[in-house]
Structures are given as C-alpha cells and as structure tokens.
Structure 1
Amino acid sequence: MTAAPQSKPLLKFRFNRQLWQRFVEIAQPYFYPPGARSSTQFLFLILTQLVFVVAFTFFFVVALALIGFQFSPKFFAGLVNEIIYLKFLSSLGKSSVEIFQNLLTFLPAYIFLVLLILSSGIFYAYRRKLRGRERQWLVLGLLLFLAFIVSSLNVLISYVFRFIDNALNGRDPKVFWEFLWVYGITLVVAIPILIAYRYTRRKLALFWREWLTNMLLKDYFSNRAYYELDSNAANTDIDNPDQRMTEDVNSFTTTILDLILDILDSVLDLVAFTGILYSISTELTFGLVGYVSIASIMALWIGTKLIKINFNQLRLEGDFRYGMVHVRDNAESIAFYRGENLELGNVEGRFARAIRNYDLLIIWIALLDIFQYAYKYFARLVPYLIVAPLYFAKKVDFGTIGQGIFAFQMVLSALSIIPTRIQDISSFTASIERLGTLYERFRQRETKDFAGNEGIIVSPANHFKVDGLTLNTPNAEQTLIQNLSFELAPAQSLLVVGSSGCGKSSLLRAIAGLWRNGTGTIESPDYTQTLFLPQKPYMLLGTLRAQLQYPNLRANITDAEIQSALVRVNLENLTTRMGGLDTEKDWAAVLSQGEQQRLAFARILLSQPKYVILDEATSALDVTNERRLYELLQSQDISYISVGHRPSLVDYHQTVLDLRPDRDRSWQLLAAEDYQFAS
C-alpha cells in the first residue's frame, strides 16, 4: 500500500466516451467474457433479457388481473378499461372461457409470446459463452421482473386512490369501503414484493463485489503486480490500490445497481404514468418535461464539480489512512528516534488536506441541497395550478385530482434521476475512474508481458547466469551496474559486496525478475525451486507453524521436522516459549530481529529449495550464529547468492562479486581466497 505523491495534479473528469469505456471494461466481465465485439454482444443480451422480462410480465399481469376479478370485479373492470393492453378483459360478466377466447384474438398476446420464445432461444444459443455466469443473469432477470411488478403496483395504487376519492366525493360508503379493502390487500401483496426487490438488489451487489474483488486480487498478485504498484517500484501513479480494491469496488457494485435499476424504475414509471398524466392535461405534461430538463442541466454542471472533489477526497482519505498504517508498522523505529512529533506533523498534514477538501465538498453539497429542495418544493405547486382549474371547470372528476398529483409526482421522480442523484453519480464516476485506471494497468502489464517487451530478458534455467547486464533504477534516473556477466554452477555460492547504494540488493531484484529496467539477459531457476531471505524476514499473519512452513515449497512437513529445524538454528525453546506451533501472535513484534533471521533459515531446512538468495540475511546475528547458519547452508548442497558487508562472509562462499564503484572497474569477479575486504 502506498500513498500518492501529494503534488500529483488532479485530472478533470467528464461524462465522456472514455468514462463509458472504463465502465464497460469493469462491469461487463461479470456478465459476459471479454473479447472481440463482446461489448456489443453484452448489450444485445441485456436488451434480450429486458424483452424476455417484458413479455413474461405481460402474461403474469394478465394472470393477476384474472385473479383480481374474482375478488373485486367492479374495481378491476374499471381498471382494465383504463389500460390499453388489458382492454380485452373489460366486459363484466364474461366467463373464463370467453376471456381466454378474447386473449386468443388479441394481437399483442401473440407478439409477446413470440418475443418470449425468441429471447429464450437467443439465451440458449449463447449458453456456452454464459457458462459459469448463469447465477448473475438469473438474479438480474429476477430484478428486472420485480422492477416491472413494482411499477405495475404503483399504477394499481394510483387507480385505487382515484376510485376512493370519487367514492368520497360521491358520498358512497359501500364503494369507499370496498376500494379501501382493495388498497389493504394491495399493500399486503406489495410490501413483500418491494422488500424482495430491495433484498435482491443488495444480494446481486454482494455477488458482484465478491467476483470483482477476487478478479482484481488475482491480477494484483499475478506476476508480482503488487510489487510494481508499491512505492519501491516505478509505477507509483496508481495511488492506494488497496483502497481501490476494497472501498471503490464496494461503492461501484452497490451504486451501479442502485443507479441502473433506479433509472429502469424511472423509465417504467415514466411510460406508465405519462399516459395517465397526458390524458389529464397536455400542458401539465409538457411543462413538467421542460421544468425537469432545465433542472437536469443545472444538476450536471454541479455534478461536474463534485466528481473532481469526490475523486480528490478518495485519494486524500487513502493518504491519511496510509500515514496512520505507516506509523503503526514502524512504531518501534519511530520510538527509538523520538520522531513522534515529526510523524504527528506528517499525519496531521495529510488529515488537514483531507479536511480542507471535505470542507469544499460540503460547500458544494450545500449548494446542491439548495437546488434540490427548491426543485422539489416548487414542483409540488405545478399540478395544483393546472389540475384544479380543470376540476372547477368540471372537465375532470374529483378523483382525477389525486391521481393527477400522484402521476405528476411519479413522472417528476422518473425524470429527476439526474437532479436528485447527482451526488451518487459523482461518487460513482470517481470510483469508475479509480477502478478503471487500476484495471487498465493490470491489462497493460498482461499485454507487455505477452509481447515480451521487457528491457532485461529473464528466462528459466537450472543455474544462475547473468550476461551483459546493465541495470537501471525503475525510474531510469540512475545506472547501477554496467555490462555485468557471470555464471554460477549448481552447488556453487557467490558473495556480492560493495558500498551502500552501489546496486547489490538491486542486482538480487533483477535476478528475481522484479526489476527489468535495463538491458542484458538473466537465466535463473524457477521460483518454486528458489527461496529468498531478505534482511528483514517476512512474518505473515498466522500460526508459528505457518511461519516456519512459509512459503510451502514442501507438503506434509511433520512436527518432528519442524522441531529439528528449530534446534539446528538455535531456536529449540521457541515452540515451548510461544505456547505451541498453532499459536497465533504478531510475530514481527514478538520475535527479535535475530530470532526472525534464524527462523528464516529454518524455512530453508524445511522447504529444502535448490537455490537460495540472501540479502544481508544474518546482519542481526553474532558471528557464532552466523557461522552456524552458513555451515548448515553449505551442508544442504544448495547453490546460493549472498549480499553482505561482513568480512567473515567470504569464508562461506566460493566466488566474490565486488560492485564497489571506487575500483578501477565498475565490478570485479574474484575467487573467495583471492579477495580481501578493503579497510
């Protein structure tokens, strides 16, 4: 995890083609495999599923209407007279046989049936491409179906209130109580459907988050991408990748479904209620469209500002969190230096930048609130101003007023998706940008690796060989080693020495394939046969057993083997002292540096690699323990390369590579017995 440079300029984000492409790159793979023309096919399948759901919903609504006739024939007779695609049910007193015969002569029924069969056939034809993705399509189809049902229930409720208002106006208690019962039954049916709709949305978002996070994690840990995105590498332009794969993925998957399904709900409500609104007043309909259009333009202008501020807030929050984690990870070093005041200033500076940006954010949110409240409350006056004169002129009945206001609010809500959700859209856009750049970096690495365009060519072998190596720092600002060549036969050992900063550890990084900025070729054993011991051993989160077995090059390591290895590295009492092999502790804090280095040598004995690379792996040990460990290493018939400063290390190696820049040559390769450390 690394923080982005504070001076890094912010980009300006807009709703453009690049943003759409990044959205598709992130969203599509969950539903459809990427490839040539895959985006077009993905959108085609989305439309196909929408067609399937529309056709299925038609027959479902017809079935519900037939059931409704059994409970409240008067209400449903009035209802189907108002809805064009249910008018074949309109005549009261018809038997089920007559209604079924009408359905057989109703042309839209055949159209919906053909669409249902055709869309099912299309999905069957794509079954191989969708293999492994059946769950998400089924859940998405269920969501679309529930969205249609919820919209249909809203239409039903609008007519219930219209008939209730007319019964009140006509002082007809019998009709009033009958429709009130209809409303109660409708609520009993509607509430579970609405809850199921909301639950399914969250469930699909959870499935999607799990899949997308796992995909990014695989990319992150593939080919050491996590190393290239670390602050030690050149590619530090991707700030806080951990935050992007946790918070941004969660925001993306949750918000995308909310927005897309809210847009779908809005479209359905728009189609359903615009007809009702238009039948009441054309002036009201067109006035509403103009009112919302102007508001949407203003909301987009405010949203453009919010996108940039939201993106900056995500980055600054990540920087602040990283500063706190950095203090936690280096608490002992900071305490030794008494550097708490400097660290406090650093963390406070990061926090202050986040606060300043958040202060700007809440100012713009306040401006957005002013706009949204004014937009909301002024809109409530419009239907009264238009529908009331129509009622006074006796052009509409009393129930039409309530239904008109309800329809107006539904259409207003449908058209107001941008003005009312601009803050969510802004945050969502920032998440797309951050996830999109991370996803593109992973894809660029895959393309680069596949094309073989690396500067230093690293290939597998059963030995170490370096030929004509010129090694640069990752940012290419400095050349560390020039034209280096050597070969290490199996069971041979090499000691790399030199002054600080001459490139000793960097050479090990190049041999391990971590640094490839430069020229030349490197042949090195496969990583499954090689074990690397850094100066500060890696202590993973887990049990003592897991520490010793890491990185699991061998399976089925027995407790007796583990205890024997601990005895040989002079840690025979460690298991007893720590409470057993299955004890979990913060090992980096519990064990001293010397104990950690000896534990790392125990990993060699247990993993039994053929090759070992040691980067000052005994720097915290006394000479006696160092001798003991290297003698163990020599007894294992292992080929190894060491980096170190101590003259005593020469005794355990056959060859010495001297990288001291103050010699006549930039490097020298000597037999161990011929080499002497400079005073």
Structure 2
Amino acid sequence: MAPVFSKLLSSRLSATVVTGAFLVHMLKNRQAKAQIRRVGSVADLPAHIDDQPLIQRSKNDKAAVDLVFFKRLGRVLKVLVPGWFSAETGYLALVALALMARTYCDVWMIQNGTAIESSIIGRDVNLFKTYLFNFIYAMPAISLVNNILKYGLNELKLRFRTRLTTHLYEQYLKGFTYYKMSNLDNRIANADQLLTQDVERFCNSVAELYSNLSKPILDILIYVRELAATIGPQGPTYMIGYLVLSGLILTRLRRPVGRMTVDEQRYEGEFRYVNSRLITNSEEVAFYQGNKRERRNIYHAFNKLVNHLRSFIFFRFSMGFVDNIIAKYIATVVGYLVVSRPFLNLNNSAFIGKKHSFLMETYYKAGYMMVRMSQAVGRVVLAGRELTRLAGFTQRVTELMTVLNDLNSGRYERTMVRESKADSDSEEDREPLVPGSGKLIHQDHIIEFKQVPLVTPNGDVLVREMTFTVKSGVNVLICGPNGCGKSSLFRILGELWPLFGGTLIKPEARKLFYVPQRPYMTLGTLRDQIIYPDCKEDMLRKGISDKDLETLVAQVQLSNILDREGGWDSVQDWMDVLSGGEKQRVAMARLFYHKPQFAILDECTSAVSVDVEGFIYAHAREVGITLFTVSHRKSLWKHHEYYLMFDGRGAYEYKKIDLETVQFGS
C-alpha cells in the first residue's frame, strides 16, 4: 500500500507544481500587459510578445515539421551537400562509420563488462584478468572511435557553414542586391543576423540532428538483432511499437516550437538592430541629447525578447516534464517489462535447468542492451524536439534564399504608396507605374532621359516624366529644395532603383562614379582608400604605381598625409583618423584614379576650401570627367554649362547657364 500511496502523492505533487507554474506564468503575462498600458518611466516598459515587431511577419510565417519543412530542408541540403563525390559526403560517411563503430564498441563493452561482473561473482581470478586486460587493450581503439566521431561532426558543421555562407554571400553581394534588400524590399530586416548567427545555428542543428538520429536508429537495429537472439523477437517489437506511439504524441505536442524559434530569432534581430542604430547615429543622438529616448527604444526591444524567451522557457519546462515521462521513464518501464517476460515465464524451455550464473549473465546482458535500446528509443523521440527547432531555422534560411533569388531576378516586394495628392486629380487618366517597366540602354559618353518618371521604390511620384540629354564634356548643376528628387535621380542613374517607365540611355555603371558628402572609407591601408574598390593587384594590373598615387594626392593638396600616417601601407581606422575635409579630398583623389566618364558630386566639397575646389573642377575637365554636381555654393556655377532645377512640386527645369545666370550665382 505504501508504494501505491507514494506514487499517488508524487503524481499529485507533480501536477500541483505544473499547475502552479502555469498560473504564475499567466499572472506575469497579465502584469506585463497592464504595465505597458500605464508606462511611466523607462524601466516600466516591458513590451509583451504580441507587440507589432519591427520585422513584419510574413503571411505564410509558419515553421512546423510537415511537408513544407522537408521541401525547404531539401532545398538547403542541395547547397550543403552539392554532390555524391563532395567532401561533405565523405564526412557524412565518416560520421556514419564512426557511429556504427561506436555502437559495436558499446555492444562489446556490455558483453565484456557482463563477463567481468560474472567472473567477480563466480570468484574466477583467471577469467577476471582475461576480460579486464581485454578492456584495457580496447581502450585506445574505443577512444579513437569517439574522437573520430567528434572530429567528423565538427568538420561537418564547419563545412556546412562554409558552403551555405558562401552560397548566400554570392547572392547577397551580386550586383546591388545588398542595397536592394535594405532599401527596395521590406521582407527581410537584419540580414546580418540571418547571414551570420542563423546560418551557424542552422548548420550546427543539421549536423547534430544527423548524429542524434543516426546513432540511436543504428543502436536500435543492432540491439534488436542481439535481443532477438537472447530473449526472442517479441521484446524488441514492443519497444518499436512504443517508439511509434510516443513519437506521434510528442511530435504533436511540440508543434509550437518551430514558430517560437522563428519569433526568438526575430526578436534577437530587433534588439541587435536598435543597438546598431545607436552606434551608427551616436553623434546625432548626442547632439539631440536623446539618450533617454534611445534607452526607451532599447528597453522596449529587449523586453519583447525577454518576455518571449520567458514564454519559451516555460513551454520547454512543460514539454520537458512530458518528455521525461514519455521518452525516458515510461520507456524504461516498458524495457523492464519486456526483458523480464522470458525470465518470469516458468514454461520457457530456453531457461529450464540452467544454472543461476548463466541466468544472471543472460539477464544482465539483456538488461543492459534493453536499457541502451530504451535510451536509443528516447533519443529518437526527443530528436523530434530538435527537428521542430530546426524547422524554425530552416524557415528563416529559406526565406532569405527566396528573397535573394527574387532580388537577383529583378523582383522585389514593398508596400506601395500612392502618389502625392497634388497629382490625384488626373490619376484616373494615367496608367499605373510598374517597377522595372522602363528600358535601360548602355551607351558611352551620353546620359539621356526619355520620358522617365522619377519614382521612389515606395511608389511616390516625384516627377511624372523627365526628358533631357547630357553629353560628355557638359557639366550639369543640380539644385532644388530637400526631398525634390535630386538623390532619387542619382539612384536611378546608378541603377540602384528600378525604372518605372520611359527609356534611360547611359554608360555602364562602372563608368559612373558617385562622390557623397561623407565619403566611405574602407578597411585596409591608406593606398586602399585611394584605389577603392580596387585592390593593389588591380592597381598594378592597370599600370598605376605608388608614384602615380602620390601625384593624385598632391593634386588635391593632401601630400602631407603620407608622412603623417607612415606611408601607403599604413593601416588605421580611417573614418576616425581623417578629418572631414581630408576624407573629401581622398574621395576626389579616388575619382581621379578611376577616371570615369561621368561623376556625381553630392555636396562633396563642402569641407574643402574654395581654391582647392576650383582646382578639382578644373582638373576634372582636363582629364575628361563630366560632372553632375549638387551644391549650394554659388561659386560653382561657373564650372557648369547647364543646370537642372527641381521645384519640389513635380516640375523641373533644364536650361543652359548663360553669363547672366553665372553673375546671379556668383
């Protein structure tokens, strides 16, 4: 009676603990939601998991172990394992052989260990020494098998990550895809996390799942054969039946894990995003003294992550409770029932008249194998949990692959905004604008717009149609109020934005050069800053030497930088080391190094003196670089032949600059 009462008390206590934990969890969620409604200070902002995330959820945002998951996984596996004769296939085979050897080592150790225990009980010194020395001799081989398995798994993870990372970056850095993902398409946010953290976790999960499924399945097959020879085929059959039943139950219960994994990675990405924004814009935030607001934003993102992780922890606690009962303890009970059945059957002829030592050795051997088999059954069942988690990572990775393929094919998805109200009166009479419907023709020494609309990726129409021609040698000054379309024009010229109609004739993108107000300084040497995006080998291949670079920096009055920084091979954090004016002059030297047909100068001489600026424009004309300039300096009008002026209301004016215009500008 006491054992029954103890079990009953234990089960009621477990139920009470689970119920109490669930009530505490629900109470915390209600408190968190109420706290959000009455936000008082920054610390009182724990955003709950139902808040609208920074990254919009997809309509088909589903991660579960189903047919869709296996299709997604198959798509990624084609990248991870490109062929039968690849190195990855070899390591998969190595891991499989190591797993098989490991299982046979386990079987041998059970048999040898049982023999050692039998010799001890039988007080047979010679047999004890024999089996003990067998174990000592086998230790190096067993250790080698274990470490070959670890080596194979680690190498497999690394090779999977290398394959997938290389494949994704080939797509991500193809053309302007990296730009389009951030500016033209809003399906993926925080691509950096997907390309780094999520890829690593996915590859690790695939390799671990391969091992965690292969080893138990192999164990089950081998132990079934051994047990069938020892206690008959019925015992292993019952265990396999239990595997199927428990697997179906637990797989159904674990379905939310995939979705929760996707949400976890999304909230991690949001938290990382708000931190990176603060780092990128720290100066502006400091000027505005916006630390309290930024702290509010960071706490908001962090608390959404924390609340989700807390929910996930509770779900794993609940599932762990069920997993342990079904996959471990009940499996062990079934194992005991199965292994005891032939021994407790008094009519079993196989054990009638056998010695006690034989029965003991057979029982221990069968018992150990059944325990190992029940453990293997439990690992197969629990592997479903990892499979569900893998479904979440697979959904994230395949979504990234889909978006990259779409962008490289010229397709993007973004919430389109109707054009401004000023144009709404005649909107019904005009055909809708379709991204990519324009025609692009590459031709040297000319830029010509033929009825090209100036439209943002959101669909905001800045100018309905633009028609003008610029030939080499004709500099153009771009002017107009903020938001009128100057930057949009350059992005269309640089082929960053799609054409919404008309025909654009221009040189290839590499024959146009863009010089912004805040030039980009790359990682590397001082030489790399001048020749970017070329490397030293590209420079030498073009027949340009360091002496030629010295002439370029002298032309922009930057010769002193060589002595100050220690020569061309000096490596510094150039964004911080160089002043604003020095960075602008480096950018101009970079322009003269590449000598494009056309250059876009976007307020790029605002931190340079007027005399240096005049020399730069004169030298650009000498070397045959035609300039599009955005600047508010009146002194620059004399260096241009035409001006393109936007009025900010959808109209523009393209006219020749005459003497009167120059005098007005100066």
Amino acid corresponding to residue 369 of structure 2 in structure 1: A
1:370-519 correspondence runs (5 A)? 370-375=321-326, 376-388=328-340, 390-391=342-343, 396=351, 397-448=359-410, 454-462=436-444, 463-476=446-459, 478-519=460-501
Post-superposition shift, 1:572? 2.7
1:325 to 273, 276, 284: 276
Q: Deviations over 1:11-60 (max 9, x none)?
A: 2322222222221221113433xxxxxxxxx7xx6xxxxxxxxxxxxxxx
Amino acid corresponding to residue 652 of structure 2 in structure 1: W
**CA contact under 8 A between 2:238 and 2:338: conserved in structure 1?**
no
Amino acid corresponding to residue 466 of structure 2 in structure 1: L
- Are 2:180 and 1:201 aligned? no
1:637 to 624, 641, 650: 624
Partner of 1:13: 63
Deviates more, 1:622-631 or 1:463-472: 622-631
TM value normalised by structure 1: 0.78
CA distance in 1, matches of 2:282, 2:155: 41
**CA contact under 8 A between 1:165 and 1:402: conserved in structure 2?**
no
Q: Deviations over 1:615-637 (max 9, x none)?
A: 22223334444333222322222
Post-superposition shift, 1:574? 2.0
CA distance in 2, matches of 1:631, 1:378: 86
Partner of 2:197: 247
Deviates more, 1:237-246 or 1:631-640: 631-640
**CA contact under 8 A between 1:505 and 1:643: conserved in structure 2?**
no
Partner of 1:523: 505
Seen in structure 2, the aligned counterparts of structure 1 residues 616 and 303 have a Cα distance that, compared at 3 Å, is farther
1:223-622 correspondence runs (5 A)? 223-230=175-182, 233-279=183-229, 280=231, 284-375=235-326, 376-388=328-340, 390-391=342-343, 396=351, 397-448=359-410, 454-462=436-444, 463-476=446-459, 478-552=460-534, 555-556=539-540, 557-622=544-609
Secondary structure of residue in 2 paired with 1:380: helix
**CA contact under 8 A between 1:251 and 1:431: conserved in structure 2?**
yes
Post-superposition shift, 1:152? 2.3
CA RMSD of aligned residues (A): 2.8
CA distance in 2, matches of 1:169, 1:398: 10
Secondary structure of residue in 2 paired with 1:539: coil
Post-superposition shift, 1:435? 0.9
Q: Deviations over 1:433-489 (max 9, x none)?
A: 11101111222234448xx9823332321022221101321122x112222122221
Seen in structure 2, the aligned counterparts of structure 1 residues 509 and 453 have a Cα distance that, compared at 3 Å, is closer
2:96 to 144, 169, 178: 144
Amino acid corresponding to residue 500 of structure 1 in structure 2: N
Partner of 2:77: 27
Q: Tell me the percent identity.
A: 25
Amino acid corresponding to residue 544 of structure 1 in structure 2: L
Post-superposition shift, 1:675? 4.8
**CA contact under 8 A between 1:498 and 1:645: conserved in structure 2?**
no
Deviates more, 1:236-245 or 1:412-421: 412-421
Post-superposition shift, 1:585? 2.1
**CA contact under 8 A between 2:212 and 2:383: conserved in structure 1?**
no
CA distance in 2, matches of 1:601, 1:589: 18
Amino acid corresponding to residue 624 of structure 2 in structure 1: D
Post-superposition shift, 1:378? 4.1
CA distance in 2, matches of 1:386, 1:15: 32
CA distance in 2, matches of 1:390, 1:423: 34
CA distance in 2, matches of 1:263, 1:378: 20
**CA contact under 8 A between 1:320 and 1:350: conserved in structure 2?**
yes
Q: Deviations over 1:525-563 (max 9, x none)?
A: 223332211222111112222111112296134333223
Post-superposition shift, 1:591? 2.2
Amino acid corresponding to residue 65 of structure 2 in structure 1: F
1 or 2 for the larger relative contact order (CA 8 Å, sep ≥6)? 2
CA distance in 2, matches of 1:356, 1:342: 21
Post-superposition shift, 1:495? 1.8
Partner of 1:669: 654
**CA contact under 8 A between 2:110 and 2:368: conserved in structure 1?**
yes
**CA contact under 8 A between 1:269 and 1:414: conserved in structure 2?**
yes
**CA contact under 8 A between 1:387 and 1:404: conserved in structure 2?**
yes
Post-superposition shift, 1:222? 0.1
**CA contact under 8 A between 1:466 and 1:484: conserved in structure 2?**
yes
Post-superposition shift, 1:347? 1.5
CA distance in 1, matches of 2:549, 2:449: 35
**CA contact under 8 A between 2:171 and 2:408: conserved in structure 1?**
no
Amino acid corresponding to residue 138 of structure 2 in structure 1: T
**CA contact under 8 A between 1:19 and 1:432: conserved in structure 2?**
yes
1:210-229 correspondence runs (5 A)? 210-229=162-181
Partner of 2:424: none
Partner of 1:117: none
**CA contact under 8 A between 1:303 and 1:423: conserved in structure 2?**
yes
Partner of 1:62: none
Q: Deviations over 1:225-276 (max 9, x none)?
A: 100111xx12121121111111122112222122123222222111111123
Amino acid corresponding to residue 666 of structure 1 in structure 2: A
- Are 2:641 and 1:654 aligned? yes
**CA contact under 8 A between 2:213 and 2:383: conserved in structure 1?**
no
TM value normalised by structure 2: 0.80
Secondary structure of residue in 2 paired with 1:222: coil
Q: Structure 1: any 5+ residue segments left out of the alignment?
A: 33-41, 46-129
Post-superposition shift, 1:165? 4.5
- Are 2:232 and 1:182 aligned? no
Post-superposition shift, 1:203? 0.8
Post-superposition shift, 1:516? 0.4
**CA contact under 8 A between 1:458 and 1:513: conserved in structure 2?**
no
Secondary structure of residue in 1 paired with 2:255: helix
- Paired residues, number: 572
Amino acid corresponding to residue 558 of structure 1 in structure 2: S
CA distance in 2, matches of 1:555, 1:420: 57
CA distance in 2, matches of 1:227, 1:422: 38
**CA contact under 8 A between 1:614 and 1:640: conserved in structure 2?**
yes
**CA contact under 8 A between 1:161 and 1:399: conserved in structure 2?**
no
Q: Structure 2: any 5+ residue segments left out of the alignment?
A: 1-51, 352-358, 412-433
Amino acid corresponding to residue 468 of structure 1 in structure 2: Q
Amino acid corresponding to residue 451 of structure 2 in structure 1: G
Deviates more, 1:162-171 or 1:455-464: 162-171
CA distance in 2, matches of 1:419, 1:326: 43
Post-superposition shift, 1:500? 0.9
Secondary structure of residue in 2 paired with 1:506: helix
Post-superposition shift, 1:432? 0.8
